[in-house]
Structure 1
Amino acid sequence: MTNLRERKKADTRTRLSVAAVELLVAEGAEGATVSAIADRAGVSTRTFHNYFAHREDAFVHFLREQVAEWVRRVDQAPAGMSPLDVLRSIFRESYGRSQDDIVAAENLLVVGEQVVLLMNTEERPCAESILDPLYEAVCRRAPHLSAFRVRVIMDLGLAAGASVLRHQPPAGAPGQDADHDPTAFLDEAFDLLERGTGREFRGGSDRGGSD
């Protein structure tokens, strides 16, 4: 009975956090009020406050649940798969989702950026710790790397995935193949990261990728 009750509480907490970020993405911070979040989730504002003190807590909970899913993917990946390749596969799946899916890559990017902007100085450490479980999972998978290197590598991987959204040529741009798979840019970004960026600036015949 206790397990069922706890599961229901967890489901309600998740439903509230999803409603919160859906409003944040669709209507911005102004539209993602506690009242609107509760209404979208089908509960009262009092129920909302039984789970979260502030709306920002709901945003953070959503992100923590996404990171928990990434950790699961890292832990369950084949032994020969590098952490960067696991991250690449996570982004590939996220890029394949429709824009109305809250965990589509572009929506996760919006949520992440908005949460950082909405946090005050005292709350920033909480937001900055969201990725800690992912770093720890990669440390377990790559014990030969220092914690510092793991954090740098994973941050670069996350930045590479996000940069594709910002910098890939828009559909219909001059020289852009209308049938070109956007995930090709994702592969190019991760290949560039794995290959090392130094050689890109040196030029020469060993330079990979396309110009």
Structure 2
Amino acid sequence: MASLRESKKLATRRALSEAAARILLREGFEGLTISLVAKESGVSVRTFHNYFPSIDEALFQFCLDSIDKFLPVVESYPQGMTITEIFEDIAVKGLTDKDTEFGSIATLFQIQEHMNARSRFIPNHEDIHAVLQKFLGAFAKLYPKLSPAELGLYLQVGAAAIVWTAEELKRLKTSSPHQFARREDKEEFIRKTFTTLRAIT
């Protein structure tokens, strides 16, 4: 059983990694700074550096913390659903409710997309691919007839569709704040996106 001190250190580490992820989604990399992460976490910049050598390492920690939580979610989908149907369900559940949006698989895909783009800046960046392999394994159980290459392509397309949908919703909401005021409006947009995806695949 972890001591009180260890529990507090773990909570601080998690708070910092989650703050980095939230700011990335809200501001993009241009607005993501160590000082802002520290401020939103209620600690000093020095404390941040006691836990992480860089912003990228904090984001990677967010991915690591999230992945194990989401694997059972993926494994809970019934056989018979297509991969596109699963990703559509993930998008609807993750992008329509403000209370659960950050803690969704959709958020994890968004962060991982950014992490892949910046992997060369991260020490031991090959660990990012090891994390992605866990997702491949979970989907491989649902689709045993697909080769690893086929499965990888499906997952890349599905994750990219979720990331694009999240960013487009954000852009449209900024340009027209009332356009997606209702959950139903966002869900309709998401389902149209995946209807288009099915048409071209």
| TM-score normalised according to structure 2 size | 0.70
SS across alignment from 1:73? helix
Taking the TM superposition and a 5 Å limit, the aligned residue runs for 1:14-29 are 14-29=14-29
Q: Which runs of 5+ in 1 are unaligned?
A: 199-211
The structural deviation recorded for 1:39 is: 3.0
Identity %: 27
1:184–1:23 CA distance, 2 compared to 1 (3 A): closer
How many angstroms apart in 2 are the aligned matches of 1:60 and 1:7?
A: 20
1:90–1:66 CA distance, 2 compared to 1 (3 A): farther
How many angstroms apart in 2 are the aligned matches of 1:85 and 1:159?
A: 14
The structural deviation recorded for 1:109 is: 7.1
1:188: which partner in 2?
192
How many angstroms apart in 1 are the aligned matches of 2:157 and 2:26?
A: 28
1:72–1:8 CA distance, 2 compared to 1 (3 A): farther
Matched residue type, 1:186: I
Q: Which runs of 5+ in 2 are unaligned?
A: none
Residue 197 in structure 1 maps to residue 179 in structure 2: no
The structural deviation recorded for 1:4 is: 6.6
How many angstroms apart in 1 are the aligned matches of 2:75 and 2:5?
A: 28
Q: Write 1 or 2 for the structure with the bigger share of helix.
A: 2
Higher RCO (CA-CA < 8 Å; seq separation 6+): 2
Taking the TM superposition and a 5 Å limit, the aligned residue runs for 1:10-89 are 10-29=10-29, 31-89=31-89
The structural deviation recorded for 1:139 is: 0.8
Matched residue type, 1:161: I
How many angstroms apart in 1 are the aligned matches of 2:36 and 2:192?
A: 40
1:137: which partner in 2?
138
Q: How many residues align?
A: 195
1:19–1:141 CA distance, 2 compared to 1 (3 A): same
Taking the TM superposition and a 5 Å limit, the aligned residue runs for 1:96-175 are 96-98=96-98, 102-103=102-103, 111-112=111-112, 114-120=114-120, 123=123, 125-165=126-166, 170=172
1:38–1:186 CA distance, 2 compared to 1 (3 A): same
The structural deviation recorded for 1:43 is: 3.0
Deviations for 1:125-174, whole angstroms, at most 9, x for unmatched residues? Answer: 4444442211111012222211111111111112222333466795799x
Aligned-residue Cα RMSD (Å) equals: 4.0
How many angstroms apart in 2 are the aligned matches of 1:161 and 1:62?
A: 18
